[in-house]
A and B are shown apart, each in its own frame.
Chain A
Amino acid sequence: MKIERKTIFRLMLILPFLFGTLAINAQSDHTGKSAATRTYAITNASIVQSPGAVMEGGTIVVKNGLISAVGKNVSIPDDAQVLDGTGMYVYAGFIDGMSNVGTKRPKAMERPSNLFTPDPPNDYAGITPERHVVDQIDVASSTIGDLRKAGFTIAHTVPYGRMLPGSGALIFLADKDHPDDIILAENVAMFSQFVGAPGAYPGNILGIMAKWRNIYRNADNSMQHTMMYAENPSGLTRPNRDRTLEAFFPVVAGQKPVYFNTQNMLDVRRAMRLQNDLGFKIAVGNIKQGWELADELKQKGAQVYLSMDLPDAPKPSKSEDKSEEVIALEARRMDFYKKYVSQAATYQAAGVQFGFSTMGTRGNKVKTHMMTMIENGLNADDALAALTTSPAALLGIDKVAGTAEVGKLGNLVVTTGPYFEKKSQVRYVFVDGDKYDYEIKDDKKKGAEVTDEPAADTSNEPLLGSWTYNFTTPQGDQGGKMIIKKEGDLYSGVMTSDDGSPDTDMEDISFRDGTLSFSFSVDGGGQTIEILVTGTVTGKSYDAQASVEAFNVSFELSATKDDGR
């Protein structure tokens, strides 16, 4: 057929527009990064559908965000990308019970100029249970990818803050453009910690415990009043609106649990004490020193999330003739190390259903710590349960997550061998049906084992050099540079001041697992005051808290790496 010249000319005019308007439908991706399909089939793999239920030589199909088929003879859809799973192991994606993943610490609130310390505004004091973690979610946060690389697909992320930062949410550890895209469920639980207000009431654990009880009791009364008024307002005084109290109504009504962040054994006991006094549903997270508390927690029906973080193994001194005292002290210290690393095994033995909390743990340490726990008595099936089925049940998402079964969310982690073997590595992670690839490293770290701190690690380099820091103090901001060097094995550093004050040495610098801490001293009115700084380095930024222990005050410090290094 002869195409008229006129028509061609018209087509040529239209086509550019067509291509132009195609951008609105965005099927084109000039980076080439979008996946070609949302259907995947992993063939001939060992599929661990749930702890202890292994299907050898199986195929699993993920389609449109769900697991659409699992079996030995499964028909593979036409649009599927087929991944050869020979020798690989497929597990349900891991679930983190409590952490700050995917959030960015908000800027600290400025101290009001006329602050009345006995009765500060609630938001300054950190009493904001009505807030939601959604407001803090940073989809670009590297913590998401970091944790996903360790095999986690869903996390219960909780907000940064002080005593009552707000409610957490369940999020997918996916790379998306908008927070809404990664939220699985909101308002799952209220989050609380034993962190006091900065230089105002409640300043420490004493005030926090009392304030907690006071808020709760008033919330209870207010709820009664509100319900009574809603039923029949006639003659009743109008209930005062109070967002803090209202945020507690579902907790008082027993519908919403409270998740506590704990630092030590006494914190766990204090959280349980509050629960005992007031009667709400409780989850205790980040438990580090809980080996004596398993039975009690079980009895109280508390939800339990053990800390994924473990202490470094103590290194006994190598000297030839150790005194009796040194031998005894090292033995006791090792004894205690064992208690920490066998804590999970203790809970397993006590029959407590528990999950893990990755708060304070870097993604690249998860495997190491899990292996240590296995070496110290936790059996692999129970470990897997603590990563999958148990948190799914505790968080109420067991209908959609926690196992590799048909109908559940397409959340999987695929490893090059059984996960609980030292050498195996993560190859793929599927989050919400999308595939993430990971490079398999070749025995590079064979000599210095995975458990050790990589000696000449790329993570060191980002630390060295010059940073521009900023302190947010009630008196205004204070800035300058942090210059960090390394001499042999030891870090040294200096802080300069923009206001011309002399340089201060950074002391006790320690950088482990992405956490940088150091201290420095200032002369404050005749006495030397020590300030401890600790925080996380993510890429080129450093977010930390500087605390002045003697005065029970802390404030924010943030720093950015100066480019050119």
Chain B
Amino acid sequence: MKKLLTIIFAIALLPMLSTAQEDDKVMKARGGKFALTNAKIYTVTNGIIENGTIIINNGLIEAVGANISIPADAEVFDYEGREIYPGMVDSGTQLGIKEIGSIAEAQDSREFGQITPQMQALSAINPNSVAIPVTRVSGVTTVLTAPTGGILPGTAATVNLFGYTPDQMFAGNKAMIMNFPSTARRGRRRRPQSPEDAKKAMEKALKTVNDTWDKAELYAKIQGSDEARFYPEMEALAKVVNGELALYIEANAAKDIQNAIAWVAERGYKNVVLTGVAEGWRVADEIAAAGLPVIAGPVQSLPTRQSDRYDLAYANPGAMAKAGVKVAIRTGDTENSRNLPYHAGFAAAYGMGREEALKAITINAAEIMGISDQIGSIEVGKKANIFVSTGDPFETSTKILDVYIDGYKIPMTSRQIRLYDEFLNRTPGVEKTNPAIDIKKK
């Protein structure tokens, strides 16, 4: 029955979607005072409001509740029983710094060198990337965009998916990315490595890491002095040493995660997050004991070992959550960050449960990134990052009707939607005498 209802709503909304773009009219976002009424509101932190209203003003949520008085000057949107959620947060992407994967000139996510912590993803984000509207019309409003590459590829930034400059987009969090030395293989399999060789390789890589951070700690002490040299890499790392900047450590193999945990304890840095954690389920108790939050994903992945049960990647976030770890979910993608709710949906189906999975892409992500005072749930005083849907966003039959970012009502269009509108019923269609369709019998 529920399916039938969603289909009916979808059909009813078809006109709404396809006329989102009127011919020759440019659609722009607009700010203002909005009243979103008659909706089932999933606040995430304060339960579900069955028939509620949200007042948006000056980019913030001014009021939310079941019986709210609507200001006279507010523009009213009656959502007729649809659902409202906090904007989804993808805590691991390269959105904005990678446009076309196979073209080097169209990729800015990877700088040359192993130790490049001072590279700033934020300023390299292209606010006009084609993938940004494609992503936000699916309800993902905020992403962490991270550099990739060597041991310390750079500084990531959290951005809201609306704005004309990176600063307009900036959501208030930056993080130092570190790729922890790994014993695992990436890509296609090669010759099996003996455990001794693997250990040796790891020790060598770890030495480089430790040397670097030792230097950074020294630099943090001496950088004030007039004599100190300008050492941009160490300057960037010193921010982590001083606790000004969070450190996100990518570690996926169980052994690597354990090593990373030990390393963090040894170094004593604060505000550390583990990312990737593909085998986190194997060492979930240890992660929980260490009190480290994680950003897990992609959920739709293959198991890490040939001998692994086939669904372990799907069950990974749930297993960690059950052990008491705070889990956020990421896609690790760029142009398909829009699939975040489906990664969460799979995690939900394979043990995490809907409620936890929803938290993993809203409030948990916000808390881990230190900006939960601004986003991650529908509460008074937080930014108006929300979306309106016809139902459960984890289901593919659900439509996203409206998206608000930073209190702006976002135009529900993207290049993909415009192409749909143009080509669903192409004018002209096929010509009657067309050489392509006239098959000559020879």
Contacts and interface: CB of A to CB of B under 8 A. Distances in A.
Asked whether any CB of A lies within 8 Å of a CB of B in the complex, the reply is yes
A379 to B, nearest CB: 33
Contact of A510 (B104, B194, B200): B194
Contacts of A507: 197, 201
Interface in B12-36: none
Interface residues of B, number: 11
Contact of B196 (A490, A517, A526, A549): A490
A526 B104 contact: yes
A22 to B, nearest CB: 59
Interface in A518-565: 519, 526, 530, 532, 549-550
A322 to B, nearest CB: 14
B104 A508 contact: no
Interface in B165-223: 188, 190-191, 193-194, 196-197, 200-201
B407 to A, nearest CB: 42
Interface string A328-342: 010010000000000
A526 B149 CA distance: 11
A532 B201 contact: no
A490 B194 CA distance: 11
Contacts of A510: 194, 197
B307 interface: yes
A177 interface: no
Given A329-B307, A526-B104, A508 B196 contact: no
Given A530-B190, A532-B191, A508 B197 contact: yes
A78 interface: no
Contacts of A530: 190
Contacts of A490: 196-197, 200
B190 A489 contact: no
A319 to B, nearest CB: 13
A528 to B, nearest CB: 10
A480 to B, nearest CB: 22
Nearest to A332: B307
Nearest to A487: B200
Contacts of B196: 489-490
A510 B198 CA distance: 12
Given A329-B307, A526-B104, A532 B190 contact: yes
Nearest to B204: A505
A489 B201 CA distance: 14
A507 B196 CA distance: 12
Contacts of B307: 329, 332
Contacts of B197: 490, 507-510
A510 B197 CA distance: 9
Contacts of A492: 200
Q: In terms of DSSP, what is the predominant structure of the interface of chain B?
A: loop
Interface residues of A, number: 16
A519 B200 CA distance: 14
Contacts of B188: 549-550
Interface string B282-319: 00000000000000000000000001000000000000
A510 B194 CA distance: 9
Nearest to A333: B307
Contacts of A526: 104
Contacts of A489: 196
Which interface residue of B104, B193, B194, B200 has the most chain A CB atoms within 10 A?
Answer: B200
Contacts of B193: 508
A492 B190 CA distance: 20
A509 B194 CA distance: 10
Interface in A145-178: none
B412 to A, nearest CB: 39
A510 B191 CA distance: 11
A489 B197 CA distance: 10
Nearest to A526: B104
A550 to B, nearest CB: 8
A550 B307 CA distance: 25
A337 to B, nearest CB: 14
B117 to A, nearest CB: 20
A244 to B, nearest CB: 34
A343 to B, nearest CB: 21
A171 to B, nearest CB: 32
B192 to A, nearest CB: 10
Nearest to A489: B196
Contacts of A329: 307
Nearest to A315: B195
A517 B188 CA distance: 19
Given A329-B307, A490-B200, A526-B104, A549 B194 contact: no
A268 B190 CA distance: 22
Contacts of A549: 188, 190
Nearest to A549: B190
A325 B190 CA distance: 24
Interface string A377-395: 0000000000000000000
A509 B193 CA distance: 10
Nearest to B196: A490
A508 B201 CA distance: 8
B323 to A, nearest CB: 16
Interface in A493-519: 507-510, 517, 519
Nearest to A530: B190
A208 B436 CA distance: 37
A331 to B, nearest CB: 12
A517 B197 CA distance: 13
A507 B191 CA distance: 12
Nearest to B305: A329
A332 B306 CA distance: 13
A35 to B, nearest CB: 46
Interface string B336-376: 00000000000000000000000000000000000000000
A490 B202 CA distance: 14
Which interface residue of A489, A508, A517, A519 has the most chain B CB atoms within 10 A?
Answer: A508
Contacts of A519: 190-191
6 contacts: A332-B307, A489-B196, A490-B196, A508-B191, A526-B104, A550-B188
Interface of A: 329, 332, 489-490, 492, 507-510, 517, 519, 526, 530, 532, 549-550
Cβ-closest 9 pairs across A and B = A508-B197, A490-B200, A329-B307, A508-B193, A490-B196, A526-B104, A489-B196, A532-B191, A507-B201
Given A510-B194, A519-B190, A519-B191, 8 more contacts: A329-B307, A490-B196, A490-B200, A507-B197, A507-B201, A508-B193, A530-B190, A549-B190
